[in-house]
Amino acid sequence: MSRKLILILIVLLAFIGFWLVPFYLFVKNDLRISLAKTLFSLDGPKQIDNQTNILILGIPGQKHDGPTLSDSITVIHFDSLHNKLISIGIPRDLWSNTLQDKINSAYAYGEAKVSAGGIKLAKAEVGAIIGEPVEYAVVINFQHFEQLIDSLGGVNINVQHSFVDHKFPIDGKENDLCGGDPEFKCRYQTVPFTKGMTHMDGETALKFVRSRNAEGEEGNDFARSQRQQLILSAVKSKTIAIMLSFNLAKTKGLYYNFDKLVQRDLTNQQVAVFLKDILLNKSLTQNSFSLPQQLFTVPDPLVYYGKYVLIPKDNNYDTVHKYVDCLFSISDSQKCLPKS
């Protein structure tokens, strides 16, 4: 055997010993994932007609009023047959006839009744809105959102529109009397964003997705939903990049941060199969949308307990169901809008 071949074998064995073996042990012992099941897509996420829907909820956390109300609502749709990954933002002010309240209260009502009941009720209510079954849910506490983004090293966001929010709430100042100031100005800070590519750390990203008092179009719920889609897409891309780097330290850190900061009804094995199908699919297409303002109207608040809410223009969700079904089929928001 030549010296060159021996050297190659030594390097190969060193690679296996110092990288592959520790990585395998992490997957087996920490994640408790079977590589064989993952490879052959066994014990993966449930699918209906080769499709899986996952609900992503963002809640404010205990420091805020309404700590379990959903500040952000997004459905991730994966079509394994046609290799498509689609995310759809759901306005938080949509009215639910079942709850007799806004859709963002579903998780809160469920949690108030029974532990882990929030996920079950939120999946049922959002499923009724989009006209599709929702198999799984992930809940992110915004108190931990900054930590989640920072663990990724921040994210790069292409801000679509410049805006300024002069009334972004300051944590811990919610009940400050501000020395008798009738406008309670001490409770707020000014948050500006400029159009164009911006690198955001966790604190900045949180302000970007939660801002709701900007002047003009960026102050409405639909604009917030679109901003949340941008952040979600960036987190997804950064996560995939870290996994594909095969850096064990970064992969471990990523997993432990996610596992600590989110509540979910997906097992690690189901997540592994889901990610394997995505990562190995080079022809995968990805698109992000939000339910458009054109599908809804703002009714008289007096009819809805004095609350600002959104209801479908045709007073039922049939048109919304057709729009979502169309998006899942052709991924073209303009073509999917109903003809006026």
Q: What are 337's two structure tokens? A: 């809008």
What is the phi/psi pair of residue 276, to 5°? Answer: -60, -45
CB 285 within 8 A of CB 83: yes
Confidence of residue 340 (pLDDT cuts 50, 70, 90): low
From CA 281, how far away is CA 7, in angstroms rounded?
Answer: 35
Q: What are 69's two structure tokens? A: 């109300």
Return the residue matching tokens 């306005």: 91
Q: Name residues whose C-beta falls within 8 Å of residue 1's C-beta, 6 or more positions apart in sequence.
A: none
Q: In this model, does residue 7 exceed pLDDT 70?
A: no
| Among 205, 293, 232, 262, CA closest to 77 | 232
pLDDT at 275: 81
Mean pLDDT computed over 93-101? 94
- Provide the whole-model pTM: 0.84
What is the phi/psi pair of residue 122, to 5°? Answer: -65, -40
Per-residue pLDDT tens over the stretch 137-158: 999 887 778 888 998 899 999 9
| Among 189, 183, 182, CA closest to 213 | 189
pLDDT at 15: 46
CB 292 within 8 A of CB 337: yes
What is the phi/psi pair of residue 45, to 5°? Answer: -65, 150
> Looking at 291-325, which runs of residues are DSSP E strands?
296-297, 311-312
Distance, C-alpha 153 to centroid of its chain? 18
Percent of the chain at pLDDT > 90 equals: 49
From CA 18, how far away is CA 160, in angstroms rounded?
Answer: 45
Under DSSP, the state recorded for 279 is H
pLDDT at 16: 42
What is the phi/psi pair of residue 57, to 5°? Answer: -115, 140
> Which of the pair, 110 or 18, is modelled with greater confidence?
110
Distance, C-alpha 315 to centroid of its chain? 28
Q: In this model, does residue 282 exceed pLDDT 80?
A: no
pLDDT at 14: 45
Q: In this model, does residue 35 exceed pLDDT 80?
A: no
From CA 183, how far away is CA 122, in angstroms rounded?
Answer: 35
Q: In this model, does residue 48 exceed pLDDT 60?
A: yes
Confidence of residue 333 (pLDDT cuts 50, 70, 90): very high
pLDDT at 17: 44
> Which of the pair, 240 or 195, is modelled with greater confidence?
195
Q: What is the mean pLDDT of the chain?
A: 86
Q: What are 75's two structure tokens? A: 């459905």
Percent of the chain at pLDDT > 70 equals: 91
* Distance from the first to the final alpha carbon of the chain: 77
> Which of the pair, 62 or 149, is modelled with greater confidence?
149
pLDDT at 336: 95
Per-residue pLDDT tens over the stretch 157-189: 999 999 999 999 888 888 888 988 888 899 999
pLDDT at 102: 96
pLDDT at 13: 45
Q: 31-336: CATH homologous superfamily?
A: LCP protein (3.40.630.190)
> Taking the CB of residue 7, how many other CB atoms lie within 10 A of it?
10
From CA 140, how far away is CA 180, in angstroms rounded?
Answer: 36
